[in-house]
Amino acid sequence: MAETLSTFLEPEFLKKLERLRLAAKRLSWSSARGEHPSSRKGFSLEFSDFRRYQKGDDLRYVDWNIYRRLGRLWLKLFAAEEEMNLYLLLDTSQSMAEGTPPKIEYAKRVAAALGYIGLKNLDRVGGASFASDLSLPFALGRGREQILTLFHFLENLSCQGKTDFRTSARAFSSLFSRPGLVVLLSDLFDPEGWRGGLEELVGKKYQLLVIHILDRAELGQEVSGDVLLSDVESAREKRIFLDAELVRRFREELERYFAEIESFCLNRRVDYLRTTTTTPIEDFVLLTLRQARSIK
């Protein structure tokens, strides 16, 4: 078990992760009890109120101290605490193999951290990978065995093929029908654009956290002169000369691209975080992720 965990996460990092938990504030979850309080009344660990005993109520929840003082039966009520379904959706198209380190390796470690947080907090975790279609799904589960299932799933991921985000998202939503928090880890590169895939996941039964992973080279900050541009998924190449004006226009387009994604997510109450693979994993998980409403 320890050897499997250390493949992705260092022991000291794991201890820090146990202080975090995932939050689901805008959805109605299933009736099973986990660690996510709702406003409904039920029996769990967090005291809420009293009410008079009624025939058929469970005597285990009678407050016997009140009975001894007043001679009346009162029942203790607790805030119902419900489990959360956490879905990890990882982009394994060919473009995710690019970068230093590769974007997919960064995505795996973030997914491992989030899955570990969820499972340690008694949530159910499942998910899948995608490229041109959904693949390698693993069913929702919780507990020690699911931690092993999650880490084996991540170990077996490799990148190949083109991206079809919309088709994959549609298949995902059909396969995983229960409400939950979906964490999408992707570079959002798709010949048809990112919007269609996000629209398939938004406004239905999911809360969505988008983690946009890029390599610094893709930001064009240190590129100029004679450059060969290559699309690794279509194998198309183009050689151009980047002068100062073309670099300026590229950066403007890149900022516009980011702004469109941010605006889309903001307007639909989707958590959106962007990072590069040079950001230390611990900094991203323990600091940056706290900016999302889905993480406490």
Residue-level pLDDT at 254 = 92
pLDDT (tens digit per residue) in 50-76:
778 777 677 777 888 888 888 888 877
Q: Is the peptide bond before 101 cis (omega within 30 degrees of 0)?
A: yes
Q: How confident is the model at residue 49 (pLDDT cuts 50, 70, 90)?
A: low
Pairing of strands 180-186, 206-214: parallel
Q: Which residue type, as a one-letter code, is found at position 247? A: V
Report in angstroms the alpha-carbon separations of 122 from 86, 139, 154, 172, 282: 11, 15, 20, 23, 22
Per the DSSP assignment, residues forming a β-bridge with 91 are: 130
- pLDDT, average across residues 157-164: 95
CB neighbours (10 Å) of residue 293?
A: 15
The structure tokens listed for 194 are: 């990112």
pLDDT (tens digit per residue) in 4-25:
555 667 777 777 777 776 654 3
Residue-level pLDDT at 23 = 58
What string of DSSP letters covers 170-221?
Answer: HHHHHH--S-EEEEEEE----TT-SHHHHHHHTTSSEEEEEEEEE-GGGGTT
| Domains of the chain by residue range | 2-26+83-219+277-291, 37-81
Note the CATH number of domain 2-26+83-219+277-291.
Answer: 3.40.50.410
Q: What is the rounded end-to-end Cα distance, in angstroms, of the chain?
A: 26
Q: Could you tell me how many helices (H) and strands (E) the chain has, helices first?
A: 9, 11
Residue-level pLDDT at 83 = 66
Residue-level pLDDT at 82 = 56
With beta carbons less than 8 A apart as the criterion, state whether 129 and 159 touch.
no
pLDDT (tens digit per residue) in 84-128:
899 999 999 999 999 989 999 999 999 999 999 888 877 899 999
Distance of alpha carbon 147 from alpha carbon 118, whole angstroms:
10
